[in-house]
C-alpha cells in the first residue's frame, strides 16, 4: 500500500503549482488603512463625515484590487474588484435607508400619542392637534383607488394573457401600459383635475378625484404584476381543464386565478404601497382641509402626504415664551412615521399572503 506525501504550501507556491493568496486579514487591513487615510484627508480638506466615508469606500474599492493584482494576479483582482463593487452598492442602498428610518423614528416617535391619532387640526393654531382627518382621508382615498384599479388591471391582464396573445390590440395595450408606468404623478393629478373641472366646474376639489388620480398610477402596476403571475400558471392546467369540456371563462375563474391568486394579491398590495405616499396628485385634486371629511364626493379631503407637506411648509410658531422648532415640524415627522408604518404593514401583509396562497409544489408520496 503506497502513501503520498502532501505537498507543502510554501513549496507549491514557489514551484508555481498554487497561486499565492492574500492573507485572511488583508481586507481588514486595507479597510483600516482606507479609513485612516480618509480621516486624514477629511481633517486636512475640511470634508464632512459623509464625504469622508465616501472617500474611504473609494480607497478600499481601489486599494484591495491593486494589492490583489500584485500578489494574486489579474483574475483574482478582477474578482475582488467585482466583490467590492457589489458590497459598495449594497451599502449605498442600505445606509441611506437605515439613516432615513432612524431619522424619522428619532423625530417622530415622541409625537405619537392617542391624542395625535384621534384629533384633527380643526381650530389648532400652535401646539396640539393630530392626524385623524388625514389618516381617514388616506384610507378612504386609497380604498377607492384600489376599487377602481383592481378590476380594470386584473381584467386587462386576463385579456393580455388568455385572449389577446400576439394580437395587435394586445401589443398596443402592453405598450400603453408601459408608457403609463412612467407617467409622473403630477400629470395624473392634472388629468384628474381637468376631467372633474370639465364635469363639475373649476372650483371642484373632492377626495374621489384623488382616487381617480391614484388609480392612474396603480393600474399599470396591477396589470404588469397580474400579467406576470398569470403567465407563470402552467399551460398543462389549462389544457387539462379544456380536455374535460370546461369553458375557457370557467377555466380562468376556477383554475388560472386560484393558482396565481397569491402573486396577484401581492402585486395589488405593492401597488397600494406605491401610491399611498403620493403628494402631488392629491394636493392638486383633493386639496387640503383641517377638518374630518368622510365623504369622498363632497368637499376637500386631507391625506397624510398632503398633511406632511402643509405642516412642514406652514409649521406655525412656538407658544409664547417658548423656544425651539415650530410645532408643525414635529407633527410632520409624526405623520411621516405613521405613513411609513402603514407601508411597512402593507408589505408584511403582502409577504404573508404570498406565502399563504402560494401553490403547493411538493407531492405526497
Predicted TM-score (pTM) of this structure: 0.79
- The chain-wide mean pLDDT, for the chain, equals 85
Per-residue b or e along 184-217, where b marks 16 or more CB atoms closer than 10 Å to that residue's CB: ebeebbbbbbeebeeeeeeeebbbbbbbbbbbbb
- Percentage of the chain lying above the pLDDT 90 cut: 25
CB 301, CB 293: distance < 8 Å: yes
Residue 319, pLDDT score: 64
Residue 132, pLDDT score: 92
363 pLDDT above the threshold of 70: no
Residue 365, pLDDT score: 46
C-alpha to C-alpha distance for 212 and 285, rounded to whole angstroms = 9
List all residues 6 or more positions away from 183 whose beta carbon is below 8 Å from its beta carbon.
216, 217
pLDDT in tens, 15-39: 455 677 888 888 888 888 888 888 8
5 pLDDT above the threshold of 80: no
Closest CA to 159 of 91, 258, 226: 226
Three-state secondary structure call for residue 171: helix
C-alpha to C-alpha distance for 30 and 3, rounded to whole angstroms = 42
C-alpha to C-alpha distance for 301 and 286, rounded to whole angstroms = 6
Residue 137, pLDDT score: 92
pLDDT in tens, 154-176: 999 999 998 888 788 989 998 99
Helices (H) and strands (E) in the chain, counts: 16, 0
Ramachandran angles phi, psi of 231, nearest 5°: -70, -25
- Locate the domains of the chain by residue range: 9-102, 117-357
Residue 9, pLDDT score: 53
Per-residue b or e along 244-257, where b marks 16 or more CB atoms closer than 10 Å to that residue's CB: eebeeeebbeebbb
109 pLDDT above the threshold of 60: yes
Residue 313, pLDDT score: 85
pLDDT in tens, 138-152: 999 999 999 999 999
Residue 305, pLDDT score: 92
pLDDT in tens, 287-306: 888 889 898 898 899 999 99
Closest CA to 67 of 16, 30, 25, 13: 30
Closest CA to 121 of 276, 361, 315, 362: 315
361 pLDDT above the threshold of 70: no
Per CATH, domain 117-357 is 1.10.8.50: no
Grid cell locating 278: 403620493
Amino acid at each position: 500500500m503506497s502513501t503520498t506525501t502532501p505537498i507543502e504550501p510554501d513549496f507549491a507556491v514557489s514551484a508555481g503549482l498554487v497561486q499565492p493568496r492574500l492573507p485572511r486579514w488583508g481586507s481588514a487591513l486595507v479597510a483600516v488603512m482606507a479609513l485612516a487615510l480618509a480621516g486624514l484627508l477629511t481633517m486636512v480638506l475640511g470634508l464632512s463625515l459623509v464625504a469622508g466615508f465616501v472617500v474611504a469606500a473609494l480607497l478600499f474599492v481601489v486599494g484591495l484590487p491593486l494589492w490583489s493584482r500584485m500578489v494574486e494576479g489579474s483574475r483574482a483582482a478582477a474578482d475582488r474588484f467585482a466583490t467590492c463593487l457589489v458590497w459598495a452598492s449594497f451599502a449605498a442602498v442600505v445606509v441611506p435607508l437605515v439613516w432615513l428610518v432612524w431619522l424619522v423614528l428619532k423625530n417622530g416617535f415622541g409625537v405619537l400619542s392617542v391624542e395625535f391619532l384621534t384629533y384633527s387640526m380643526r381650530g389648532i393654531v400652535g401646539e396640539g392637534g393630530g392626524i385623524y382627518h388625514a389618516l381617514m382621508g388616506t384610507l378612504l382615498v386609497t380604498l377607492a383607488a384600489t376599487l377602481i384599479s383592481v378590476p380594470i388591471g386584473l381584467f386587462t391582464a386576463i385579456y393580455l394573457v388568455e385572449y389577446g396573445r400576439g394580437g395587435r390590440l394586445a401589443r398596443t395595450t402592453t405598450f400603453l401600459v408601459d408608457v403609463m408606468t412612467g407617467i409622473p404623478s403630477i400629470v395624473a393629478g392634472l388629468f384628474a383635475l381637468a376631467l372633474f373641472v370639465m364635469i363639475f366646474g373649476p372650483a371642484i376639489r373632492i377626495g374621489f378625484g384623488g382616487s381617480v388620480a391614484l388609480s392612474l398610477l396603480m393600474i399599470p402596476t396591477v396589470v404588469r404584476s397580474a400579467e406576470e403571475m398569470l403567465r407563470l400558471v402552467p399551460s398543462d392546467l389549462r389544457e387539462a381543464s379544456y380536455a374535460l369540456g370546461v369553458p375557457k371563462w370557467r377555466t380562468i375563474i376556477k383554475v388560472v386565478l386560484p393558482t396565481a391568486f397569491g402573486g396577484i394579491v401581492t402585486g395589488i398590495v405593492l401597488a397600494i404601497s406605491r401610491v399611498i405616499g403620493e403628494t402631488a396628485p392629491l394636493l392638486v385634486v383633493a386639496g387640503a382641509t383641517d377638518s374630518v371629511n368622510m365623504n369622498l364626493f363632497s368637499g376637500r379631503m386631507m391625506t397624510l402626504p398632503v398633511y406632511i407637506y402643509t405642516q412642514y411648509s406652514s409649521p406655525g410658531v412656538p407658544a409664547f415664551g417658548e423656544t425651539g422648532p415650530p410645532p408643525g415640524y414635529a407633527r410632520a415627522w409624526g405623520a411621516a412615521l405613521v405613513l411609513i408604518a402603514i407601508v411597512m404593514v402593507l408589505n408584511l401583509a403582502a409577504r404573508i399572503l404570498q406565502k399563504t396562497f402560494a401553490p403547493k409544489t411538493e407531492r405526497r408520496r
